[in-house]
Amino acid sequence: MTKTSIQANVLKTARPYVGMMIAAGVAFGGALALSPGLAQAQTTNPEKHFDPKGNPPSMFTIELRKGVSATLPFDDKRDFEEAKKGFIAEPPYTKIMADAGNVAWDMGSYDWLLQGKDFPSLHPSLQRQAVLNMAYGLYEVLPGKIYQVRGFDLANITFIKGDTGWIVFDPLTAKETARAALAFINEKLGVRPVLAVVYSHSHVDHFGGVRGVVDEADVVSGKVKIIAPEGFMQAAIEENVFSGNAMSRRTQYSYAVLLPRDPFGHADQSIGKNVANGNVGLIAPTLLIKDDFQNVTIDGVQMVFQNTPDTEAPVEMNTWFPQFKAFWAAENITGTIHNVYTPRGAPVRNALNWSKQINVALYKFGQDAEVMFASHSWPRWGNARIQEVMRTQRDTYANLNNQSLHYANLGVTINEIQNVYKLPPSLWKQWPAHSYHGSEEHNSRGVINRFLGYWDGNPVNIAPLSPRDSAPLYVEMMGGSDKILAKGKELNDQGKYLEASEFAQPGNQPAKDMLADSFEQLGYQKESPTLRNIYLQGAYELRNGLPRGTPQRSTGPDMVRAMSTENWLDFIAISIDPRKADGMRFTINLVTPDNGEKYLVEMSNATLTNIQGEQAKSPDLTITLNRTDLNLVMMGRSSFDDLIKAGKATFAGDRKPFDQLRSLLVVFAPNFEIMPGTAATSSAARDAKAKEEPSPFQAPDLTDADGD
């Protein structure tokens, strides 16, 4: 397909959405409190690169783009027809403000995508997906019964019309965006009470906005039911506890939350535009779905829940509506092949089981379904079309699993599979098989990692030197940095960007700039926005250094209350500096009378352990306080000493172990160096960082901000 025909396709398919995006500004403002002059998530001039050191696509990138375009099925326009079907109305605004005063959501920051232009810095398939995700407003999925509000957050919020009220599926990330969606549908279709909320799975963009659609008092009274798969609360919290800080830093790469929203920066997030930045809440479910298939009727609406654990999330469930012949696919079937390995960090998902659960749904419900809709993307109508999409995604996940392991059994390693595995041509010709949130490269490595781990079998890689130690040796053996830099430039000039990306030197800015140039072109060439974002964020940091400022916490009181005391103690154990702890020994009994819990906390061998339900007979210290008061410490709103002064906590015994423990704790912040030589080195910068550190006993940021 030529550039002209791509542009015509974008013009034609984008036209139904023109006029929806009128405002521009910061959509993820507040993700970091950045110093003036640094990149922030905002819209810039789409004709000009936001970075003075930035480059347009090279002739090699443009030629590659043309070649890829010729292989893509642009003649299949059904996705665009389905994405606009059922449109009822769009709101008169594109910004949704957070209660705290920042912009929680701004769909207008992506308005440049609707100009009908062909952007050479975007992979043609990604540009198509980015336009599809510009749907904004209220849509009818099934006349008189099922509606969705799209474009108010990363996910869709779905409203099922019962006899007297609404059943809400997946109430978005933030209270503010969910509240706006409920107000909008009530304005257009008439005010109805929310009688139930369904959390399809444990990612924050599917439950965080619950307080925008229901009052917790109505949940407690039984007036409103909250339904979720068994294990939901544990999964919603635990995935982010132990490595949450590292996840937050990596999310800056995979979601490019700090880059401007323009053709040279952030364009799309595969399953939506980006994540809302508002008030994240959580109300515990009142009905857990425990069986493989479980029937529930609410307000005259019959639902059959299908539990699908170990797929897109640790716990997840699809829903069949037999009265409507409608199938809700949660996030198991969307407009993209998803992450199997999530670059922000999470246990590798089970691609084979994912495929099998889609297959179960296909034969259990897909034979009769007349509409299939989900928590992201757009619905599909007609039984033949539904079965086609279900089979395509079933086969794609299975092929990814089977062929990656096929090659592994032939000796292909985790460090090679990304250059070997390719989607079969028959799947490449089908849009639902394309990997936007995921990618063939990182997902195939994820499959091997799940089954074989990180080691490739080469003895040198079982416990290798750190890059900071091995890199100088390579530089020396190759004749010095000048020779390597010259070779890197030669490779860049030949369009061999991946080969050129093998070299950078922390204190060598020309070398870092050269690597940034390679990363930038690689980002432009990627179909997956996840990979695009990673390369472009890396390029930005190589050129400009780490963004300065204090990351704002997204964890609210609901998330802290939902975190178990055991999880908090485990996180405290992770926070200990073992180099300072060696030789210390003490035992602490922790008692929280209001919930009847007791813990024995022990320091030995530079390791902190805990066990619930046990108490030391002769502890060095006993700490007693209610869990409701401990929450204040975990949120950073109070300290143990504050609570002692207020008479809300007691220390019995020797205080020394507590002070020792506090002295050992390292406060994590998601601003550590990823690209060598990008961190601030001045003493003033280090002092500023120290002043930004919160309480050492504060709980980690628990919000899964990328929703993937």
- Write the pLDDT tens digit of every residue in 406-456: 999 999 999 999 999 999 999 999 999 999 999 999 999 999 999 999 999
From residue 671, how far is each of 132, 344, 683, 695, 702 by CA, in Å? 33, 14, 16, 17, 17
Q: Is residue 313 part of a domain?
A: yes
The pLDDT-based confidence of 507 (bands split at 50, 70, 90) is confident
pTM: 0.91
8 Å CB contact between 179 and 212: yes
37-51, 81-95, 117-131, 556-570, range with the lowest pLDDT:
37-51
21-35, 255-269, 289-303, range with the lowest pLDDT:
21-35
Domain boundary among 451, 484, 514: 451
Q: How far apart are CA 306 and CA 363, in angstroms?
A: 12
E strand or H helix at 372, and its extent?
strand 371-373
The pLDDT-based confidence of 371 (bands split at 50, 70, 90) is very high
CATH number at residue 626: 3.30.1050.10
8 Å CB contact between 275 and 707: yes
Q: Is residue 347 part of a domain?
A: yes
Q: Is residue 53 part of a domain?
A: yes
Mean pLDDT of 202-225: 97
8 Å CB contact between 601 and 610: yes
Domain boundary among 628, 643, 664: 664
Is the Cα torsion angle 196, 99, 243, 566 positive or negative in sign?
Answer: negative
Note whether 447 and 585 are same-domain residues: no
pLDDT in tens, 605-617: 999 999 999 999 9
What percentage of the chain has pLDDT greater than the value 70? 89
8 Å CB contact between 652 and 591: no
Q: Is residue 565 part of a domain?
A: no
Cα 494 vs. chain centroid, distance in angstroms? 35
Residue 7's pLDDT is what?
A: 32
Q: How far apart are CA 156 and CA 389, in angstroms?
A: 19
Q: How far apart are CA 396 and CA 459, in angstroms?
A: 33
Q: What tokens were used for 143?
A: 């006349």
CATH number at residue 202: 3.60.15.30
Q: How far apart are CA 284 and CA 229, in angstroms?
A: 12
Q: Is residue 159 part of a domain?
A: yes
Q: Does the pLDDT value for residue 650 go beyond 90? A: yes
For residue 612, give the nearest of 631, 626, 630, 592 by alpha carbon: 592
Is the Cα torsion angle 505, 507, 508, 511 positive or negative in sign?
Answer: positive
Q: What tokens were used for 285?
A: 């479910």
Mean pLDDT of 531-553: 83
287-291, 314-318, 489-493, range with the lowest pLDDT:
489-493
Return the SS3 of 540: helix
Mean pLDDT of 2-15: 32
Mean pLDDT of 646-672: 94
Of the two residues 8 and 210, the one the predictor is more confident about is 210
DSSP 44-79: --TTS-SSTT--PPPHHHHHHHHHHHTTS-TT--HH
Q: Is residue 108 part of a domain?
A: yes
Could you list the residue range(s) of the whole structural domain that residue 657 is in?
A: 577-664
The strand pairing partners of 623, in sequence order, are: 590, 651
Residues 6 or more apart from 253 whose CB is under 8 A from it? 343, 533, 534, 537, 538, 674
Q: Does the pLDDT value for residue 211 go beyond 70? A: yes
E strand or H helix at 186, and its extent?
helix 175-189
Residues 6 or more apart from 493 whose CB is under 8 A from it? none
The strand pairing partners of 161, in sequence order, are: 166
8 Å CB contact between 107 and 136: yes
Mean pLDDT of 630-649: 95
Mean pLDDT of 268-293: 96
Domain boundary among 413, 433, 451: 451
Q: Is residue 262 part of a domain?
A: yes
Q: What tokens were used for 515?
A: 């690597």
The pLDDT-based confidence of 503 (bands split at 50, 70, 90) is confident
Q: What is the mean pLDDT of the chain?
A: 89
Structural domain total, the chain: 2
From residue 588, how far is each of 71, 377, 545, 597 by CA, in Å? 65, 51, 43, 14
